[in-house]
């Protein structure tokens, strides 16, 4: 029996002293593809920030892998984040650095020291995403789709247990969005666990997975009907 990779029990998510989500009881198993849906302001981003310990969990319990989010110490947060890959809507690439320097910055910050190993790992991950020719380019020289692929590459560098994606297609045109979703589908098919916040319902239809909806201060699972 697989153990849950993510588990919230009776959790209350509070931001700026305001209760955002109440009575959160959800589980994500290893290998799940989870969509987090709901209108703007219903708590999707707050839940995601809680997952990577940017927002402390003040009530209830939550576990990711072997980390207890209700008890995690500040010094342990970097170790949690090494097990997570986070992809943002606006890419968050450093504009004054090349793709290689963006990615090597992450590896060095998480304890990698050997220059050859760093170079090999970056080339390996970029190659897996069809980005062999972008090492020396800066983000402004890349298309939106290429920037998001680099952001996904950055998330994959430390071979995470879980990818968390916050509206990863929100700044992309429909065709590029589809291409980026295919990247996530490919990662999922290789065994990656993915939690993705999105408001793009077309994606949910095209790329079915488990669905959690945030609404009126609650989060609950939506059961999809399987189409023939």
The model's pLDDT over 116-172, given as tens digits with 9 standing for 90+, comes to 999 999 999 999 999 988 999 999 999 999 999 999 999 999 999 999 999 999 889
Q: Which two tokens stand for residue 67?
A: 């980390």
Stretch 69-81: mean pLDDT, rounded?
92
70 has pLDDT over 60: yes
Q: In this prediction, what percent of the chain has a pLDDT beyond 70?
A: 97
Per the DSSP assignment, residues forming a β-bridge with 213 are 37, 220
Centre a 10 Å sphere on the Cβ of residue 193 and count the other Cβ atoms it contains. Answer: 20
- pLDDT for position 226: 53
Q: Quote the pTM value.
A: 0.92
């Amino acid at each position: 029996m697989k153990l849950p990779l993510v588990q919230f029990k009776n959790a209350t998510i509070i931001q700026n002293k305001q209760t955002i989500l109440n009575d959160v009881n959800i589980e994500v198993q290893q290998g799940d593809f989870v969509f987090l849906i709901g209108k703007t302001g219903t708590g999707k981003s707050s839940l995601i920030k809680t997952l990577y310990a940017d927002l402390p969990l003040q009530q209830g319990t939550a576990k990711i892998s072997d980390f207890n989010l209700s008890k995690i110490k500040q010094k342990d947060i970097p170790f949690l984040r090494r097990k997570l890959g986070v992809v943002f809507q606006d890419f968050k690439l450093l504009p004054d650095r090349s793709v290689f320097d963006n990615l090597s910055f992450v590896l060095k910050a998480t304890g990698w020291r050997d220059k050859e190993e760093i170079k090999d790992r970056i080339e390996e991950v970029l190659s897996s995403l069809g980005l062999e020719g972008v090492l020396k380019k800066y983000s402004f020289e890349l298309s939106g789709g290429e920037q998001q692929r680099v952001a996904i590459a950055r998330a994959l560098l430390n071979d995470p247990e879980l990818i968390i994606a916050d509206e990863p297609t929100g700044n992309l045109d429909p065709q590029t969005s589809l291409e980026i979703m295919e990247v996530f589908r490919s990662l999922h098919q290789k065994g990656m666990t993915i939690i993705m916040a999105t408001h793009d319902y077309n994606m949910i239809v095209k790329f079915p997975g488990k669905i959690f909806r945030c609404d009126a201060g609650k989060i609950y699972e939506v059961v999809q009907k399987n189409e023939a």
